[in-house]
């Protein structure tokens, strides 16, 4: 019996904000890589999640959601990061939210029509929330008439429904080849980057609707002391009033953010973490191309 050829390649996950791209990549990897929240703009960077087994290495590209509003520099940056991920990949997953179809979904589809060179799989997420599954069939038919998809997969990223079948199909579309990354590597991102993302995730979760539109995290200190990581992070906001919101009454909110971020870091890194947080004002950073680059928003440009 002929031995199965090893396959390796890139899978871009494309979609509007809040359709579950980061949840999907975390589920297929079997561990947390991408931060998640209910708020748009949770994912701002293009992140690789690498899954290797005996038969394949699938490199998932988690991307920011494509935005209709590109007036702010931050949104333009995220749109460029997402759009560039369509190029030079082997498979594209177009992720949509159940029965919902918006103008932003339409924008993603138009971008795919214009520039997608790889096979596009339509992935309909959040099937676990649909009470009557039969209504999905005419919806699939309607969407399939809009574009020549390679295939269509209804899934639930949160529950893991139908992901094995999706991954098997992705693997079959991959080119034969050797490992692209070492077999024990699960992302292209540094520990510093992941630490900043985990702090930002807790800001999203603790602040909720009070979260300032333009907020980011920069790691100023990351010392490896054998069994301990000593990490210092600065949270940047745009206005003085936002600083007091992030700190909270008597510093309690910032303390809670730090505690929960530290717990997540220790789980991810597998060692103790000493974390200190500061909040600073940097006016207009979210709409200034130069400031964005200085804060690390330049890797996909």
Could you give the residue range(s) of every CATH 3.40.50.300 domain in the chain? 7-173
> How do residues 75-105 score in pLDDT, each as one tens digit?
565 556 556 667 789 999 999 998 999 998 9
Could you give the CA distance from residue 31 to residue 172 in angstroms, rounded to a whole number? Answer: 23
Which superfamily does 191-294 belong to?
A: K homology (KH) domain (3.30.300.20)
For residue 116, the tally of other CB atoms under 10 A from its CB is 18
Q: What is the mean pLDDT of residues 137-157?
A: 93
Could you give the CA distance from residue 260 to residue 254 in angstroms, rounded to a whole number? Answer: 10
In this structure, are strands 228-237 and 272-281 parallel, antiparallel, or unpaired? parallel
Q: In the structure, what pLDDT confidence band is assigned to residue 301 with cuts at 50, 70 and 90?
A: very low
Q: In sequence order, what DSSP letters do the residues of 265-278 get, joined into one string?
A: HHHHHSSEEEEEEE
Note the pLDDT of residue 164.
96
Q: What is the mean pLDDT of residues 214-223?
A: 90
Note the pLDDT of residue 300.
44
pTM equals 0.82
Q: Is the confidence at residue 293, as pLDDT, over 90?
A: no
> How do residues 52-69 score in pLDDT, each as one tens digit?
999 999 999 887 655 455
> How do residues 100-138 score in pLDDT, each as one tens digit?
999 989 988 998 998 889 999 999 999 988 877 778 889
Q: Is the confidence at residue 241, as pLDDT, over 90?
A: no
> How do residues 151-181 score in pLDDT, each as one tens digit?
999 999 999 999 999 999 999 999 999 999 9
Higher pLDDT, 4 or 26: 26
Could you give the residue range(s) of every CATH 3.30.300.20 domain in the chain? 191-294
CATH 3.40.50.300 is the classification of domain 7-173: yes
């Amino acid at each position: 019996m002929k031995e199965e050829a090893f396959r390796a390649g890139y899978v871009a996950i494309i979609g509007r904000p809040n359709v579950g791209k980061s949840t999907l990549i975390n589920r297929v990897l079997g561990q947390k890589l991408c931060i998640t929240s209910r708020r748009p703009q949770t994912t701002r960077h293009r992140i690789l999640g690498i899954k290797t087994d005996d038969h394949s290495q699938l490199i998932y590209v988690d991307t920011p959601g494509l935005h209709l509003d590109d007036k702010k520099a931050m949104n333009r940056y995220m749109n460029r990061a997402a759009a560039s991920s369509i190029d030079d990949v082997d498979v594209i997953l177009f992720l949509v939210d159940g029965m919902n179809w918006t103008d932003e979904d339409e924008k993603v589809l138009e971008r795919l029509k214009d520039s997608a060179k790889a096979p596009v799989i339509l992935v309909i997420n959040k099937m676990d929330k649909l009470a009557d599954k039969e209504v999905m069939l005419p919806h699939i038919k309607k969407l399939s008439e809009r574009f020549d998809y390679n295939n269509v997969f209804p899934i639930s990223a949160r529950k893991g429904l139908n992901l094995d079948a999706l991954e098997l199909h992705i693997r079959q579309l991959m080119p034969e080849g050797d490992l692209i990354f070492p077999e024990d590597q699960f992302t292209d991102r540094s520990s510093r980057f992941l630490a900043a993302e985990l702090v930002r995730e807790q800001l999203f979760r603790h602040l909720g609707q009070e979260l300032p539109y333009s907020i980011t995290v920069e790691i100023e200190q990351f010392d490896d002391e054998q069994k301990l990581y000593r990490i210092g992070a600065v949270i940047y906001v745009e206005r003085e009033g936002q600083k007091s919101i992030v700190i909270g009454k008597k510093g309690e909110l910032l303390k809670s953010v730090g505690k929960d971020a530290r717990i997540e870091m220790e789980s991810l890194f597998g060692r103790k973490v000493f974390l200190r947080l500061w909040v600073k004002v940097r006016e207009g950073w979210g709409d200034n191309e130069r400031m964005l680059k200085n804060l690390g928003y330049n890797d996909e440009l």
